[in-house]
Amino acid sequence: GNSVTQMEGPVTLSEEAFLTINCTYTATGYPSLFWYVQYPGEGLQLLLKATKADDKGSNKGFEATYRKETTSFHLEKGSVQVSDSAVYFCALGGGSNYKLTFGKGTLLTVNP
């Protein structure tokens, strides 16, 4: 079945540092890949997505590239801000399944 393995947290960075959160997946077929973010007290919000191999999703300075050869979808940001502090979830979906399959989530704290 489908599965997502995500970098364990928590991750603590200083403002303007470079961020990488690793995500690898196992899936049959050709899934879509997503990064969701959860700010304190709020629901999961879609951050970015990619629907096929070599696609790059980007939003708010975050990027992730769908790498079929390494089955990865790592999240990166060149310069984090305090407002990026949140929990980040990698997820996959697609095919005949209705559901999304999530990773465990990574708590990011950015200090000023």
Partner 1 sequence: EPEVTQTPSHQVTQMGQEVILRCVPISNHLYFYWYRQILGQKVEFLVSFYNNEISEKSEIFDDQFSVERPDGSNFTLKIRSTKLEDSAMYFCASSISGTGYNEQFFGPGTRLTVL
Q: CB of 18: closest distance to partner 1 in angstroms?
A: 26
Q: Does the bond joining 40 to the residue before it have cis omega, within 30 degrees of 0?
A: no
Residues with Cβ < 8 Å from 96, sequence gap 6 or more? none
Query: Applying CB under 8 A, does 98 fall inside the site for partner 1?
Result: yes
| Residue among 42 and 69 whose Cβ is closer to partner 1 | 42
Choose among 108, 78, 77, 72: nearest CA to 90.
Answer: 72
DSSP 8-state secondary structure symbol assigned to residue 29? S
* Residues numbered 31-60 forming contacts with partner 1, rule: CB under 8 A: 31-32, 34, 36, 41-46, 49, 51
Phi-psi region of 74 (alpha: psi -120 to 50; beta: other; left: phi over 0): beta
Q: CB of 40: closest distance to partner 1 in angstroms?
A: 10
DSSP string, 72-89: B--EEESS--GGG-EEEE
Phi, psi angle pair for 54, to nearest 5°: 75, 0
| Residue among 17 and 71 whose Cβ is closer to partner 1 | 71
Query: Applying CB under 8 A, does 100 fall inside the site for partner 1?
Result: yes
| Residue among 3 and 12 whose Cβ is closer to partner 1 | 3
Among 66, 101, 106, 108, binds partner 1 (CB under 8 A): 101
Q: Residue numbers of the site for partner 1 (CB under 8 A)? A: 4, 31-32, 34, 36, 41-46, 49, 51, 89, 91-105
